[in-house]
Structure 1
Amino acid sequence: MTFAIAASMATNTQATAGDLSNFSALNQTEFLAVSKDLAAVTSTKALEPAASLGFTGFDVSASSSMTKIQDGAAWAKVSGGSTSYLMQTKLSISKGLSGGWDVGGFVSKVPSTHVSVAGVQVKYALLEGNAINPAIALRGSHSRMGGVSGMTLNNTGLDLLISKGFVGVTPYLGVGTVYSSAQATGKSDESFTQSKSFVGVSWNVLLVNLSAEYDRTGKNTSMGLKAGVRF
């Protein structure tokens, strides 16, 4: 269902995205704009509440997200295709450890391009939630874009999350920062920082977990859906 909804969104809003190859067509300002769009797409979006999984906990899921790009003209130059949105499909796994720590990783693809992404994350529960108090956590992450000949992009994120569980439903929100570095053949290296904010909700039905999240990284907005097993 997650992928079906995302695919429908892509069909209605996205023309051919194309592959990233013609970096010589971009000036430095346009390269920075494309890099910021890609950082918003490829940086970590875990779609999870703040609460720790616990020592025996696992989260295995599939997710899809749609990100609105800001510079369609620059994208058309570098890719040869036009688009307003980029879709990302992702497989991820997280494992709870002792002491309020969780660790995880993901792999993802951006359909209709050669873009692939791999990432890792670690989360620490500053405050374990209960019937009265919310859960508060700090999350660090790193992701690296691959599949693009002539360009590399790395993102390192730091987020603060808060969530409060109710019967089967856990709303959450957070703020953070994404630090990115981009290199491409024939262009000067770019390093930039983008602020991040997000809000979401997670539903649990027995072992099945469904999550939805709205994210804003820099000027780019994203909508994400996740389905998996969380216990």
Structure 2
Amino acid sequence: MALAATAVAADDLDNIGNLNQSQFDGLSQDLAAAFSYKAGASAEALGVIGFDVGVAVTSTDLEHPDAWTAAMSSGDTIDTLIIPKLYVQKGLPFDIDVGGYYFTVPDSNIDAWGAEIKYSIISGNVALPAVALRGSFTTLDADDQLELDSQSVDVSISKGILMLTPYAGIGRVWAESTPKAGSGLQTVDISETRTFIGVTLHPPLFNLALERDSVGGIVSYNLKFGLAF
């Protein structure tokens, strides 16, 4: 997925003050879609002794490349933002899972982290699918240029078929993007519907997940690989 992307590596976002308000709104919408929490997991609970730890990469199709060109010191144009991540998810009693991500954009001043809690309302069995509620947040920092905080809730459903588990869900993302002091720009508040669909593959001791995510129509693809049991 990363090799196929037609992206130029993102540079530092160090020219936020060059943006007009409309451009900053667009940049903030892209950032909210790219960095909102993406679990890459089915609705099934991991179980008390279960865990999943590994790496992931998200590829987001940017809707406002002109804003990125104006905001980056290089002046390059990028169509796709590639975000590598480290993640961990752990099962707890009562069909509850918790997890966290660390995000970064290579060769840029953008990094972020996030956390989630998921409760499997229906744990799923041979006859029934699993159903889960998830709450999550992320916080992004681009040095003294901007800060973006997002929160999301979603409901998901999944049904295992041997080692494959297809899943899908819908939810809501809220984000607040705050520009640096003195830029003359106003804080942007974002509220968008999120939909996602994916599949996980569970060979022994491994977990592979591929997910398509859309926040307000801005599409991301999330690929995850980890050690799990």
Match 1:132 to one of 123, 127, 131: 127
SS in 2 for 1:35: helix
1: CA distance between counterparts of 2:141 and 2:187? 17
Unaligned runs of 5+ in 2: none
- Greater helix percent: which structure? 1
Q: CA deviation at 1:9?
A: 2.5
Residue in 1 aligned with 2:136?
141
The answer to whether the 8 Å contact 2:13/2:142 transfers is no
Where does residue 214 of structure 2 map in the other structure? 216
User: Cα distance, 1:17 vs. partner?
Assistant: 2.3
Question: Residue 45 of structure 2 aligns with which residue?
Answer: 52
Distance 1:128 1:170 in 2: 13
Q: CA deviation at 1:45?
A: 0.7
TM-score when scaled to structure 1?
Answer: 0.94
- May I ask how many residue pairs the two structures share in their alignment? 224
- In the aligned structure 2, how far is the partner of 1:91 from the partner of 1:199? 21
Distance 1:205 1:17 in 2: 35
Write the distance in 2 (CA, Å) between the matches of 1:177 and 1:168: 29
What is the one-letter code of the residue matched to 1:191?
Answer: D
Say whether 1:108 aligns with 2:106: no
Q: Using the TM superposition, give the Cα deviation of residue 149 of structure 1 relative to its aligned residue in structure 2, in angstroms.
A: 2.2
Gaps of 5+ in 1: none
Q: Which residue of 2 aligns with 1:200?
A: 198
TM value normalised by structure 2? 0.95
Query: What CA RMSD, in Å, does the superposition of the two structures yield over aligned residues?
Result: 1.1
- 1:18–1:82 Cα contact (<8 Å) kept: no
Opposite residue 53 of structure 1, the aligned amino acid is L
Structure 2 letter corresponding to 1:19: D
Tell me if structure 2 keeps the 8 A contact 1:70–1:219.
Answer: no
Moved over 6 A (4+): none
Whole-angstrom CA distance in 2 between matches of 1:98 and 1:78: 46
Of 21-30 and 131-140, more deviation after overlay is shown by 21-30
Identity %: 36
- CA contact 2:9–2:106 (8 Å) conserved in 1: no
2:65 and 2:189 map into 1 onto residues whose CA distance is 21
1:19 aligns with one of 12, 20, 40:
12
1:38 paired with 2:35, answer no
Match for residue 191 of structure 1?
189
Q: Partner residue of 2:147?
A: 152
Give 1:169-188 correspondences, 5 Å limit: 169-185=164-180, 186=183, 187-188=185-186
